[in-house]
Chain A
Amino acid sequence: MASNQIRSIALEKILAAPNRHQTLEYPRANLGWAKLFIIIVFTTVLVLTGCVVIWSHVQITTYNYQISELYQEQKELDNWQRKLRVELNHLQSLERLERLAVEQYNMAPPGPQQVINLR
């Protein structure tokens, strides 16, 4: 109904116009505040959803970078820990400890009679 009305008004204006070069004034469609509000809300939701999706993707990518970096760091620390274990085992090797005890601290293995079992 409304569209027929608009079309008839437009035709009347065209027919009533003195010539084809005359500027026509078209009636503005009255959308109403409610409709405008819905459109704004809808657009806002759409934009916000898009932002959330983009933000989540950015976050995922950032976290992936961080995970990769941390994993590399973990691997390096793991390797460092292995190197420290090599060092620890070397420092605890019986050959070294005995050499230190004998040469540096003038220690000697106890004789059988020097060992007292306290059990």
Chain B
Amino acid sequence: MLTKWIRVRIILVACGLGIFFLAIVVRLIDLKFIQGPTLREKAQREYQKDFPILPVRGSIFDRNHTELAISTFVKSLVAHPRRLPNKKELSRQLAPCLGMTPAAVQEILEQDRPFVWVKRHLTPQQAAAVEHFKAEYDRQIQAQRKQAQKGEAGPLPRADAFYLIPEPKRYYPHRTLAGPLLGFCNADGHGAEGLERFFDDYIYGKPQKSLNIIDARGQVVLSGEKELMDETMGDNLVLSIDRTIQYITEKELQNGVQKWNATGGFAVVMVPQTGEILAMAQVPAFDPNYYYKYSKDFYQNRNVTVAVEPGSTFKIFTVAAALDAKVVRPTDRYHCENGKFAIGNAGVIHDVHPYGSLTVAEVIKKSSNIGAAKIGLKLGAQKMDHYLKGFGFGQRTGITYAGENYGLVRNILSNRSLIDRVTVAFGQGITITPIQMAMALGAMANNGILMQPLLVKEIVDHQGRVVKQFQPTPVRQVIAPETAQTMMAMMKTVTEPGGTGTEAVPPGYTVAGKTGTAQKVVGRAFSKSKYYSLFVGAVPAEKPVLAIVVIVDEPKGAIYGGTVAAPIFREIAGQAMRFLGYYPSPHPASPTETIQVKKNPPAASPAAAKLTPLPPLPASVVPAAHKPGPLHRMPDLKGKTIREAIAILSNAGIRCQVEGEGLAFDQKPEPGAPLPANNQCLIRFRTR
């Protein structure tokens, strides 16, 4: 019996234990597999939290990597008005910290909205004052809560009713320097105007969310933020602008505008051989740090968005076209009708000074409208149209900037008005932008090769890796190199004694340029009191380093380009050349005596001359000007032809496997990756 009882007890205990362990196992299965996902989710909600990561906007650098625009984080004060019990008292206490009136703060806090910005972008002092006040406020809340727990209930304020949050803020430390060109960012950190807007996709960065593990007090235990750094950091822009030359240009333009009590002015400084824009200035300008203080008229970069009549400066293009088409020679003479030339019944053209017979070179030097009109007539509408397009007038220049104005170039071929067709020859009835003028002038100074304007040199990421590179791009050979050299020699005479632009020459340098004065169009007619004064030129005349365009809007007291714009040109050119290391020569080149006539005789008559397409770019130009350096990383080949891609890679000794045809759209290794160890890569091409 006893044995049996013991056995029964043992069995009972075993059963009990078995049931106990079974219950545990069942509970484990329940927790793990049945309630598991729900519980896991619940737990994750407790210890995991999404934290927004604000993007860091990339900087904008000049060509020497001086920062022109930088972003930092500053504090902004936000509030949830519905959580605030005593708004009046809080407004009174907060107002001195924010530098606002209590009424203004109260007005914001009284709004019936779940969330309000009390004040954005606080100064460091204001942020510190608010932080100090908030700490004190939180202590008072704690005390009130303790009292409430003892039974003294009342409307309790909440600690999260107002607080500081970080926000990006854009700074332009050089203030107005290149302001209209750079543009500005809005309060949310997005580019709103200028380059800031055009390249916003690159420099804004990407807002991300980081899944952080937090403890019971809400402190971050483990953060995944660092892994997202590459994506949140915006890329940096490297411009072709040189801040010193930009400063010189802005300063001298401002001085000139002030001197002549003008409405405004424009100036562009560029390198003719590469199309790089070293300075782009305008008056009036604005400070992008305080963009909200200016009207919208100030925001646009008028060197790109405003087209003006070029006036007599346009004669150089008419004469260049006539010389290149071999319609005239520099020594051909034209009678300038003693200052008054009637074109049948169409109208009468006047010269400022009466001239008799002038050579083509003298037409440029003396700036004769009648001489230019006669050359234009001899050139013919068809060729004129051909060369206008060749120089890029009436078309986009391809500058990386939004809102470019194409200018107004009438269709000379279909225009029935003879006077309209003739006046184009000396720059009336046509409008062009300062940037178009600079590029066309650059073509003249670059042996006839028109370059695409280069404003942004490269985009680099936050670690300095090149994301995108902009190379100098030749557009076309507009005129023959010999014609360009002849034109430069003619334009040099303009700045020599007897010419209209003698004021444009900085001491110790030579300048090839052209003056211009254009009536402004007011309503639908030419104004008799409002003018543009222009000077365009290249320095030094023999081997141009800089091509500069200066336009003064509505000068008072004097109107001629040689008087108003040429001195501004002189100051900009002299200082910029010295800064670039081209020092003035004590004995600059001797004055031009005669313009050499090229051996090729001109065509017999314009009608007989067959219009040929603009000559292709000489093969020697591209590699000489844009020879790539040794490659260290994979270049971005997207958009390149097979021939171009192979040429680039073969320079680095890389063999590429080609798939498809057309333009490259994919490559392995990716752009910016280290060069492949086996010196082989794959490029896929496709047709559009």
Residues of A in contact with B (beta carbons under 8 Å apart): 14, 61, 64-65, 67-68, 71-72, 79, 82-83, 85-90, 92-95, 98, 109, 112, 115, 117
Q: A65, A71, A86, A115: which contacts B171 (Cβ < 8 A)? A: A86
- The 0/1 profile, CB within 8 Å of A marked 1, for residues 217-229 of chain B is 0011111011000
Q: B73, B177, B506, B574: which contacts A93 (Cβ < 8 A)? A: B177
Say yes or no: B222 contacts A115, CB within 8 Å: no
- The 0/1 profile, CB within 8 Å of A marked 1, for residues 152-192 of chain B is 00000000000000000001011111000000000000000
Number of interface residues of B (CB under 8 A): 34
Which candidate, B63-71, B97-105, B519-527, is the interface stretch facing chain A? B63-71
Residues of B close to A68: CB separation below 8 A: 212, 219-223
Say yes or no: B171 contacts A112, CB within 8 Å: no
Say yes or no: B223 contacts A67, CB within 8 Å: yes
In the assembled complex, the Cα of A98 lies from the Cα of B508 at a distance in Å of 24
Residues of B close to A92: CB separation below 8 A: 66
In the assembled complex, the Cα of A64 lies from the Cα of B223 at a distance in Å of 8
Residues of A close to B175: CB separation below 8 A: 90, 93, 95
In the assembled complex, the Cα of A90 lies from the Cα of B70 at a distance in Å of 11
Q: Please name 16 further chain A to chain B contacts, defined as beta carbons within 8 Å, in addition to the given A79-B72, A82-B71, sorted by A numbering.
A: A67-B223, A71-B223, A72-B220, A82-B70, A83-B72, A85-B70, A85-B173, A90-B173, A93-B173, A93-B174, A94-B177, A94-B243, A94-B247, A95-B174, A109-B575, A112-B506
CB-CB under 8 A for A89 and B222, given A94-B244, A117-B583: no
- The 0/1 profile, CB within 8 Å of A marked 1, for residues 195-236 of chain B is 000000000000000001100000111110110000000000
A-B contact pairs, 19 of them (CB 8 A): A64-B221, A64-B222, A65-B221, A67-B222, A67-B223, A68-B212, A71-B225, A79-B73, A85-B70, A89-B174, A94-B244, A94-B247, A95-B175, A95-B247, A109-B575, A112-B506, A112-B574, A115-B578, A115-B584
Say yes or no: A86 contacts B583, CB within 8 Å: no
Q: Say what secondary structure dominates the interface of chain B.
A: mixed
Q: Answer yes or no: B660 CB below 8 A from chain A CBs.
A: no
Question: In chain B, what residue has the closest Cβ to A14?
Answer: B2
B379 to chain A, nearest CB (A): 41
Q: Answer yes or no: B16 CB below 8 A from chain A CBs.
A: no
Q: A64, A72, A89, A112: which contacts B66 (Cβ < 8 A)? A: A89
Q: B73, B226, B506: which contacts A71 (Cβ < 8 A)? A: B226
Q: A86, A93, A109, A115: which contacts B70 (Cβ < 8 A)? A: A86
Residues of A close to B2: CB separation below 8 A: 14
Q: Answer yes or no: B672 CB below 8 A from chain A CBs.
A: no
Say yes or no: A89 contacts B173, CB within 8 Å: yes
Say yes or no: A86 contacts B72, CB within 8 Å: yes
- The 0/1 profile, CB within 8 Å of A marked 1, for residues 337-377 of chain B is 00000000000000000000000000000000000000000
Residues of B close to A109: CB separation below 8 A: 575
Say yes or no: A82 contacts B72, CB within 8 Å: yes
Residues of B close to A67: CB separation below 8 A: 222-223
Residues of B close to A65: CB separation below 8 A: 219, 221
Counting from the closest, the 5 A-B pairs by CB-CB distance are A89-B173, A90-B173, A82-B72, A94-B247, A112-B507
